[in-house]
Amino acid sequence: MRFGVVVFPGSNCEHDCYYMLKYAVQQSVRFVWHKERDLSEFDAVILPGGFSYGDYLRTGAIARFSPVMEEVIKFARAGGAVLGICNGFQILCEAGLLPGALGRNAGVRFVAQSVYLKVENAGTLFTRRCADHVLKMPLAHGDGNYYADAETLQQLREQNRILFRYCTAGGEATAAANPNGALDNIAGIMNEAGNVMGLMPHPERACETALGSNQGLQIFQSLVA
């Protein structure tokens, strides 16, 4: 597959994504500067984590208006696979490609720790190679508190579009396992068409056992499959 990793001013996880895709998953990949306007060469696009435009307004709110996002929206609406990680998830929500919003963490503190994620739907473009029911990977964010109105949340549940929930090592989605206060322990969702996913933890930082977990690879292996 041909992957594009978008780079915004303030991104800081683009090299992690590049390394993981090129060396761990062994796929074609190149960086895409935020002013580029042609994504036709790619099969999948990754919006990496970081602090796009310094988060000087609302997280993802400025990046949403970058020239490349017009192309990302077209790419997604044409059926292209799009994955937004952390800040990328926030940008996808701001761009209207995913429902809901991500606000300040409960306690208004930046959270950086390893978490467990329960795979809630293993039949999607992003999860079909998830051999493990629970995945371990790191997160690092100050705005991961997912929120959606009651109607949207009901749709996400009924349509099996909640792909990952924060959980214990045993797979229980408890309040204690929720690191940021996210509604319904939500860590990752997808769009109605099933080709756009947002995920707050960092699967690209869980691609080698030396990093504490290689279970993040399962998400990218699902995409390649």
Q: How far is CA 127 from CA 73, 103, 199, 217, 221, in A?
A: 22, 25, 12, 10, 9
Listed in sequence order, the residues at least 6 apart from 8 whose beta carbon sits closer than 8 Å to its beta carbon are 34, 50, 52, 53, 63, 66, 91
Query: d(Cα 106, Cα 178) in Å, to the nearest integer?
Result: 10
Q: Which residues pair with 198 in a beta bridge?
A: 84, 189
Q: Which residues are catalytic?
A: 86, 202, 204
**Range list of β-strands (E), 91-144:** 101-103, 111-119, 134-141
DSSP state of 127: T
State CA 98 to chain mean position distance: 11
CB–CB of 206/173 below 8 Å? Answer: no
